[in-house]
Amino acid sequence: MLALEEASKTVLSSARQLDSERVNMAAAVGRVLAEDVISDIDVPQFDRSAMDGYACRRTDLANELSVIETIRAGCAPRETVGPNQCSKIMTGAMVPQGADCVVMVEQTEMQTATTVRFTGSQTKDNVRPRGEDIRAGEIVLRRGARIGPQHIAALATVGCTHPLVSRRPKVGVISTGDELVSPGEKPGCSQIRESNSHQLSAQVEQIGGIVTNYGIVADNRQDIDRVMRTSVINNDVVILSGGVSVGDYDYVPDVMREIGINVLFHTIAIKPGKPTVFGVCDDVCCFGLPGNPVASFVVFELLVKPFLFKMMGHHYRPAYACTPLASAIRRSETQRQSWIPVAITEDLTAEPLEYHGSADIRALADADGLISLDAGVAEIEKGTTVCVMLI
Ligand code: AMP
Ligand code: MG
């Protein structure tokens, strides 16, 4: 059985880079930059006051200073500050020639209508020098960065109103299983409500993919063949769930091969997620995920998500919280690496959840993250620092 690391390598090396497009900055959150963003200006573009106060010469701080003008933000100073002079200045305004510091208004006292005295014992410069944060021509955001709200100010400041970003991958999602009914229906005897296609769609959309949900397909070769062919033609990636294991009606791997998909692996040594199929056909990659919803979720997080990000040019690393384990974990079967749902408690420890296995959507819904036990590891003691992969 293939270790997760090997499976990841195979999957990632099959990811082809999508082309790019320009989008409005307002629609750029969640997208991956396809080129470096370079500043066209120094930031700040001029020596800029960090405080409301008085711009003056540090050597004059002990003296009474005459106020020669008031400088508003957005207005250039008209006067040069000379000995025993100062200019009243607002935060963000341009520091006048001659001045080398700004004293905070809170540390001053008016002496007459036109003179002021520094009342503090010391002051910082309170000047943000030109180019302190960014130099013209400097790279502000790198190609491959995923744009978050925290990047928007940088884009706006350097005038990048239409960043070049990777195209969003088109992802077809298919659920297979005779027992499945859609969530809006009441399951009959022996049926269950179908959840994977909706969960997978949400996972894909969360990272910026465009989903076509082909819904439920029965466990027969013709139907799977037909829907799979349609989705391979119309998408960059196809994700199936169910029907990938060794049951009598698990046709997905066979059908994948029949339609010309080169199956690169069929099982991975992880729990949940052992029956995971991956194959490539021309430009399209195809994942067959296990039917159980926790397994489908976990395999998406571990394999499909980094793959889709790589297609967009982004090197994805999950966020981890490393924290003590609140109670011990034990298991008897240690053949595979296993992933276990945990909650982060109020006091920031990792609490293993009551977990009944890969169908336990309740445990998944309560989880803040997953921790892994490597193959061969049967136990993690209470208090051990564990790294929780946040979900
Ligand atoms: P399979 O991989 O087809 O053997 O399915 C494994 C288990 O997952 C079975 O109990 C299925 O009923 C269940 N299952 C399969 N597909 C879905 C789905 N789309 N939503 C919820 N459960 C599913
Ligand atoms: Mg099935």
222 sits in which H/E element: helix 221-234
**What is the spatial distance between Cα 144 and Cα 219, in angstroms, rounded to a whole number?**
40
The structure tokens listed for 255 are 């059908």
Distances in Å between the Cα of 218 and the Cα atoms of 180, 246, 279 are 8, 17, 21
pLDDT score of 125: 98
Q: Which residue in 203, 238, 211 sits closest to 316, CA to CA?
A: 203
Neighbouring CB atoms inside 10 A of 357's CB total 11
For a mutational test of ligand 1's pocket, the pick from 175, 192, 287, i.e. the residue with the most ligand atoms closer than 8 A to its C-beta, is 192
Q: Report the separation in Å between the CA atom of 252 and the middle of ligand 1, taken as the mean of its atom positions.
A: 13
pLDDT at 22: 98
Measured CA to CA, the distance from residue 221 to residue 258 in angstroms comes to: 10
* CA nearest to 253, candidates 39, 95, 194, 264: 264
| Ligand 1 in reach of 292 Cβ (< 6 A) | yes
pLDDT at 94: 98
Q: What whole-number distance in Å separates Cα of residue 214 and Cα of residue 281?
A: 19
d(CA 317, CA 338): 19
- CA of residue 257 to ligand 2 center, whole Å: 18
pTM of the model: 0.95
Strand partners, 26: none
**Nearest ligand by distance to the CA of 289:** 1
Nearest Cα residue to atom 6 of ligand 1? 291
Best CA proximity match to 162, nearest among 287, 25, 9: 25
Instruction: Indicate which atom in ligand 1 lies nearest the CA of residue 179.
Output: 12
Start-to-end C-alpha separation, the chain: 26
The rounded mean pLDDT for the chain is 98
Cα of 291 vs centre of ligand 1, distance in Å, is 3
Q: For the segment 27-61, what is each residue's pLDDT rounded down to a tens digit?
A: 999 999 999 999 999 999 999 999 999 999 999 99
Regions in the chain scoring below 50 on pLDDT: none
User: From the CA of 321, how far away is ligand 2's center (Å)?
Assistant: 35
Q: 199: Cβ below 6 Å to ligand 1?
A: no
Which residue carries 């391979």 as its tokens? 232
The pLDDT of residue 71 = 98
Q: Is the CB of 290 under 6 A from ligand 1?
A: yes
Give yes or no for residue 241 CB within 6 A of ligand 1: yes
Neighbours of 83 (CB within 10 A): 11
Q: Is the CB of 243 under 6 A from ligand 1?
A: yes
